[in-house]
Amino acid sequence: MSIPALTDAQRELARTAATQARRRRAEIKNGLRDGSLSLAEALDLAERDDIVAHTKVVDALKSLPRVGEVRARRVMAELQIAPNRRLRGLGKHQVAGLISEFS
């Protein structure tokens, strides 16, 4: 199956949508980084916002203060969260575990 050819207008729309999605995810990560958004609020927002829902869990955790690659991976392993998991794909026990770990 080959990729369908897109018109210039369709390509531009896709490029604009992708840019907006990246900016929205960056806003969420910046909010986590500066403390204006808690992890619990971000997880709640992911239930309603499709763009936030596609943020990787490891990226969200690494955005938190005093959380680096090692701690994020360790916590995810303890809670049995796959490395490629997105925020909306978490189970209720995983969400509860993350909130208790980082609140």
Q: Where are the domains of the chain?
A: 10-101
State the chain's mean pLDDT as an integer. 94
Rounded CA separation 48/3 (Å) = 31
Q: What does the pLDDT read at residue 17?
A: 96
pTM of the model: 0.87
pLDDT of residue 4: 83
Write the pLDDT tens digit of every residue in 49-74.
999 999 999 999 999 999 999 999 99
The pLDDT value recorded for residue 87 is 96
The span from the CA of 68 to the CA of 59, in Å, is 10
Cβ(20)–Cβ(49) below 8 Å: no
Spelled out in words, what is the top-level CATH class assigned to the domain 10-101?
mainly alpha
